[in-house]
A and B are shown apart, each in its own frame.
Chain A
Amino acid sequence: MVASNWAFVTASYVITWVVILGYLLHVHRAVQQARAEYERVTGHRPEAGGAA
């Protein structure tokens, strides 16, 4: 007999998306803070220079 494991399947996908979206938020904030710091120190926006 095959047991219903939907609770474990659902939990797996919920955790996966929480981790991925949480990390996305973390990365987004890190980039925004870094850009602000760069702009504050150098006085110009990051896109103005550097390699693509």
Chain B
Amino acid sequence: MTAVAHPIDVPRSGRWTLFGVVAFAVLIFTQVFAFVTSPPDANMGQLEKIMYVHVPAAWIMFVCFVIVMVYSLRFLWKGREEDDLLAAAAAEVGATFNGLTLVLGMLWGKPAWGVWWAWDARLTSTLVLFLVFVGYLALRAFVDDPQRRGQWSAAVGILGAINVPIVWMSVTWWRTLHQTPSSAQTMAPAYLAGLWTNAVAFLLIMIYFIRRRYEAACLIRAAEHAAQATALGGLE
């Protein structure tokens, strides 16, 4: 294990503001596109339109937690503080999309299944995932020492991310209320374009959010490093 000691590389804002503007423009376009091009479903009527936000939010949540796992492992291996900060940024964005997925699922569930919530395998495992990453963020808020915070949260992040394939496969392993995953095999072509374009738009938004959150975390840590260096210089 390497000690966290080297100064933080401060990322520049630069082109990321433009990237964010483009990402939001793409999201607006894809949502209008999905609304206009998708016909009402024979059974569910207009309810299928919830899919264009619910499913991409769920996919992005998975992507975020895989990023958490990759950068947590990298932090434990190399001890680079930037990896810990990137994992934390992805965890916060992932938890946000996870919460959104749960709420949108409830808005789908009430008219489709007649209940807001059921202790179905997919719903329950998604809730567990959410609670794990809320715990991850709470843990980071309570531990002051950067190295200890990084190590503990990396352990929680890796354990939490192990839940991702369980959530993904839950509808296959336990056939309960939630339908099987949305894919080209399970959906009519009329709905696929709207779903995929919205997934890309959500992915762009996710990249933008993680990058800006990471930038803020790096700036704070760089300021803390500079303050420490000044204090140590004053003691000499």
Contact = CB atoms under 8 A, between A and B. Distances in A.
A6 B50 CA distance: 10
B67 interface: no
Interface string B196-236: 00000000010001001101111110110011001000000
Contact of B12 (A2, A4, A6, A47): A47
Contacts of B212: 27-28, 30-31
Contacts of B20: 24
Nearest to B47: A5
B107 A37 contact: no
Contacts of B31: 13
Given A34-B215, A47-B13, A19 B110 contact: no
Q: How large is the interface on A (under 10, 10 to 19, 20 to 34, 35 or more residues)?
A: 20 to 34
Contact of A12 (B44, B50, B217): B50
Contact of B45 (A2, A33, A41, A50): A2
A52 B14 CA distance: 8
B25 interface: no
A8 B216 contact: no
Contacts of B220: 34, 37-38
Interface in A4-52: 4-6, 8-9, 11-13, 15-16, 19-20, 23-24, 27-28, 30-31, 33-35, 37-38, 40-42, 46-47, 49-52
Contact of A41 (B49, B57, B209, B227): B227
A5 B205 contact: no
A8 B111 CA distance: 8
Interface stretch (B96-104, B151-159, B168-176): B96-104
Interface of B: 9-14, 20, 27, 31, 40-47, 49-50, 53-54, 57, 93, 96, 99-100, 103-104, 107-108, 110-111, 205, 209, 212-213, 215-220, 222-223, 226-227, 230
Interface of A: 2-6, 8-9, 11-13, 15-16, 19-20, 23-24, 27-28, 30-31, 33-35, 37-38, 40-42, 46-47, 49-52
